[in-house]
Structure 1
């Protein structure tokens, strides 16, 4: 399978060590020791390399880490990439590029979702609203299928996206709040950028 990896250009935030199945690493923002940014996650502080540079991607227990940027650009609010393929065991880290956003699964068990659009056996996630540039939230995908998610403050404005883990399944059509790339296109391309999809 072809898969493109999108790396965050944020120099102050890295990917912390992640563990656990289908569980977010936390949802609170904490200031980094050097005061240059924030990261979300109970036990996942920014990790720096031996040379002092911040790690933007690392292998996690059981898989790779992919980055999705959360962006406010004028009157547009979006996840980039808007469509992403991952393997079971891979972790996705959402990073605030600009604006204030959340990464929230379409799951009726969460207050902000009216429908469920993730696999039945999957644990839903909700980062809460992250407000600082560089703030991040991570979730490890274990259950095969299709996952649709949204930003709480911008769902009505169409800030939604899709992740396919392993192979498509468990959802049909688009979420109620807008369009996302087709599952098979995500599998074939690995990642579909917002500009590619919306252009």
Structure 2
């Protein structure tokens, strides 16, 4: 169910933190989305829309809700929209990426900081959405209502709209509940940052060994022909 957008003061909400890079290793933190109970029994979750430097993003990028829950998008900075991947919406004419029984939505482009838009999720499944001005710059998000399902869960994310960072899978969103932007998946090897630095270390060790072999083969360290060494 789509609900009309409203305006509110800029200072009413502060942007939530996101992953920082410290000492060459990216540290991920999973933060719960601010949520409040509704009189009807559902819960309201908040997603921020932000511009920061050269980045445009929704935070959290992945969110799990239950049927009857409402999501409120808040325009913290920049000019953004929250728009479902459906053919009736602006600047998208591709395949539908929300459940077949769900109502599409479009907040329109907010130009004022503090503007809000709400949508109540009723159909179970996976919902992908985007920002009209910044879709092709990777400003996209994913919400799973109840359990994964529908075209967004069954098909790859549009390559032209590759998110800034990585789009979490529907299953990961259900498992974690809320995933901050930028999402960086972890692996059994300690995640991409540790794999990177491990690779750098292995390359450095190999290079040092080959240099040593070459240096010794050059004769640089051979014993000079001195009297008495014959």
**What range describes the TM-score normalised by the shorter chain of this pair?**
0.7 to 0.9
Of 164, 172, 184 in structure 2, the residue corresponding to residue 185 of structure 1 is 172
Structure with max Cα Rg: 2
Deviation at 1:118, TM superposition (A): 0.3
Count of aligned residue pairs for this structure pair:
156
Greater helix content: 2
- TM-score (norm: length of structure 2): 0.63
Q: Secondary structure at the match of 1:124?
A: coil
- TM-score (norm: length of structure 1): 0.72
> Given that residues 59 and 181 in structure 2 are in contact (C-alpha distance below 8 angstroms), is that contact kept between their aligned partners in structure 1?
yes
> Given that residues 119 and 144 in structure 1 are in contact (C-alpha distance below 8 angstroms), is that contact kept between their aligned partners in structure 2?
yes
Of 89, 100, 103 in structure 1, the residue corresponding to residue 82 of structure 2 is 103
Which residue of 2 is the match for residue 81 of structure 1?
Answer: 60
> Given that residues 99 and 125 in structure 2 are in contact (C-alpha distance below 8 angstroms), is that contact kept between their aligned partners in structure 1?
yes
Deviation at 1:196, TM superposition (A): 3.6
> Given that residues 70 and 118 in structure 2 are in contact (C-alpha distance below 8 angstroms), is that contact kept between their aligned partners in structure 1?
yes
Q: Secondary structure at the match of 1:131?
A: coil
Which 5+ residue runs of structure 2 have no aligned equivalent?
Answer: 12-33, 186-192, 194-230
Which residue of 1 is the match for residue 70 of structure 2?
Answer: 91
Deviation at 1:112, TM superposition (A): 2.5
> Given that residues 101 and 123 in structure 2 are in contact (C-alpha distance below 8 angstroms), is that contact kept between their aligned partners in structure 1?
yes
Deviation at 1:121, TM superposition (A): 0.5
CA distance in 2, matches of 1:153, 1:74: 16
Give yes or no for the alignment of 1:118 onto 2:98: yes
RMSD: 2.2
Deviations 1:59-95 (A, max 9, x none): 2223101000001000000000000000000000000
Which residue of 1 is the match for residue 138 of structure 2?
Answer: 158
Give yes or no for the alignment of 1:175 onto 2:158: yes
Q: Secondary structure at the match of 2:133?
A: helix
CA distance in 1, matches of 2:102, 2:44: 18
Deviation at 1:161, TM superposition (A): 0.6
CA distance in 2, matches of 1:174, 1:189: 20
Deviation at 1:111, TM superposition (A): 3.0
Which 5+ residue runs of structure 1 have no aligned equivalent?
Answer: 1-21, 39-55
Which residue of 1 is the match for residue 222 of structure 2?
Answer: none
